[in-house]
């Protein structure tokens, strides 16, 4: 064998070895790739509701969930109610979850921001990531249809004439319902007896059953009750102007009381989501909320929608936190 032949065989051997290594690496990468780049979501996503079944947040969550599934490409959403402590149990469940995109949940104002102000809470705003706000539901004051009260002034007059007897239900200490009651009592110089409930459904049923005289709730809840034929009457809405869903319902401002109280209900997640999963969730939730079919159903069930993206949502929560801290300094509500 000539020197030239030996050199050629050695060169070919080295090339074949390098090719084998490259092929092996390609095969290895092909085996690992699908695991490393698995599509999200691979398993059901839990959507926490911090209030009981049948309440406004629960209604919104169960109506919205199928549309989120649609825009996630088929990923399943499981709604889980974790009521109690004015929403703290549910909010803490979200904050404590592993930030992997498989636990998200509704975060409700003002409870979300008032609870850490009034007590040592199991969560904080800094541990939650606001993704998309869905609903902006103003407060209303509701009574039974056979109640003698036909205006907010009637409630105030009765409370003044009968001290320590007029009971007003809410969804808990520091809730929008409770704070609205305190603001009314302060502005009117009347004493109202606060009766907290674990959720809006329980509050509403107590009023229907005549266990309380007045139910402070949200507009959507009151309108759904009226549409269902419940014997109830709303006395005023706590928004800046009359709502198009109830054009004949006067505002508190029109009746002489400067009270605006709105409950934001949006979806949040534990802080620290992987950026790509966060983007996927925001996009799917936004598309779900903007879906014409969902929006039609929301209107049919009297849910006042206001879709707000993550940055604006977070900014509003920060602003509310400042406002309620100022209110606490002037008028502690606990």
Cβ atoms within 10 Å, residue 67: 21
pLDDT value for 38: 66
**All structural domains of the chain:** 45-137+262-330 (3.40.190.150), 138-237 (3.40.190.10)
Are the CB atoms for 204 and 214 separated by under 8 Å?
Answer: no
Residues 6+ apart with CB under 8 A from 181: 168, 170, 192, 194, 216
Are the CB atoms for 50 and 82 separated by under 8 Å?
Answer: yes
Spatial distance between the Cα atoms of 248 and 171, rounded to a whole number of angstroms: 26
Give residue-wise pLDDT tens across range 75-98.
899 999 999 888 999 999 999 999
Q: Average pLDDT for residues 104-126, to the nearest whole number? A: 96
Spatial distance between the Cα atoms of 103 and 67, rounded to a whole number of angstroms: 17
Give residue-wise pLDDT tens across range 298-332.
999 999 999 999 999 999 999 999 999 998 998 89
Q: Any bridge partners for residue 269, and if so which? A: 129
Q: Average pLDDT for residues 203-231, to the nearest whole number? A: 95
* Residue 18 pLDDT exceeds 80: no
pLDDT value for 11: 43
Predicted TM-score of the model (pTM): 0.79
* Residue 274 pLDDT exceeds 60: yes
Report the b/e string of 104-134 with b at 16+ CB within 10 A.
bbbbbbbbbbbbbbeeebbbebebbbbbbbb
Spatial distance between the Cα atoms of 107 and 268, rounded to a whole number of angstroms: 6
Cβ atoms within 10 Å, residue 31: 9
Give residue-wise pLDDT tens across range 19-34.
344 434 443 444 444 4
What is the pLDDT of the chain when averaged over all its residues? Answer: 89
Would you place residue 245 in the very low, low, confident or very high pLDDT band (cuts 50, 70, 90)? confident
| HSE-up (13 A, CA, CB side) for residue 245 | 23
Give residue-wise pLDDT tens across range 134-163.
999 999 999 999 999 999 999 999 999 998
Residues 6+ apart with CB under 8 A from 265: 56, 57, 60, 106, 107, 108, 109, 133, 134, 135, 136, 137
pLDDT value for 295: 97
* Residue 197 pLDDT exceeds 50: yes
Are the CB atoms for 139 and 217 separated by under 8 Å?
Answer: yes
**Residue 27 — φ and ψ, nearest 5°?**
-65, -45
pLDDT value for 7: 38
pLDDT value for 75: 84
Would you place residue 167 in the very low, low, confident or very high pLDDT band (cuts 50, 70, 90)? very high
């Amino acid at each position: 064998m000539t020197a030239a032949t030996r050199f050629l065989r050695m060169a070919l051997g080295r090339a074949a070895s390098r090719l084998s290594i490259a092929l092996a690496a390609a095969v290895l990468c092909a085996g690992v790739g699908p695991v490393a780049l698995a599509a999200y979501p691979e398993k059901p996503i839990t959507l926490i509701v911090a209030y009981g079944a049948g309440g406004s947040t629960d209604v919104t969550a169960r109506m919205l969930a199928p549309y989120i599934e649609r825009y996630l490409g088929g990923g399943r959403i499981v709604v889980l109610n974790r009521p109690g402590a004015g929403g703290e149990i549910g909010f803490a469940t979200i904050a404590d979850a592993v930030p992997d995109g498989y636990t998200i949940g509704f975060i409700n104002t003002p409870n979300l921001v008032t609870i850490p102000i009034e007590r040592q809470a199991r969560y904080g705003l800094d541990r939650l990531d606001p993704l998309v706000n869905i609903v902006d539901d103003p407060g209303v004051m509701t009574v039974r249809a056979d109640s003698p009260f036909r205006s907010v002034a009637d409630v105030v007059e009765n409370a003044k004439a009968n001290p320590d007897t007029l009971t007003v239900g809410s969804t808990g200490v520091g809730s929008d319902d409770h704070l609205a009651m305190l603001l009314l009592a302060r502005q009117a110089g009347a004493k109202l007896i606060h009766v907290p409930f674990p959720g809006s459904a329980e509050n509403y049923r107590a009023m229907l059953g005549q266990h309380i005289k007045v139910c402070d709730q949200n507009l959507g809840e009151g309108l759904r009750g009226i549409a269902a034929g419940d014997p109830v009457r709303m006395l005023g809405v706590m928004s800046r102007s009359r709502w198009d869903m109830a054009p004949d319902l006067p505002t508190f401002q029109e009746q002489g009381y400067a009270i605006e109280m709105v409950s934001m209900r949006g979806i949040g997640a534990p802080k620290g989501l992987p950026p790509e999963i966060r983007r996927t969730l925001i996009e799917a939730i936004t598309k779900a909320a903007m879906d014409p079919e969902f929006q039609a159903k929301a209107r049919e069930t009297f849910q006042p929608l206001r879709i707000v993206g993550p940055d604006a949502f977070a900014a509003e929560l920060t602003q509310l936190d400042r406002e309620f801290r100022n209110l606490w300094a002037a008028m502690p509500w606990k």
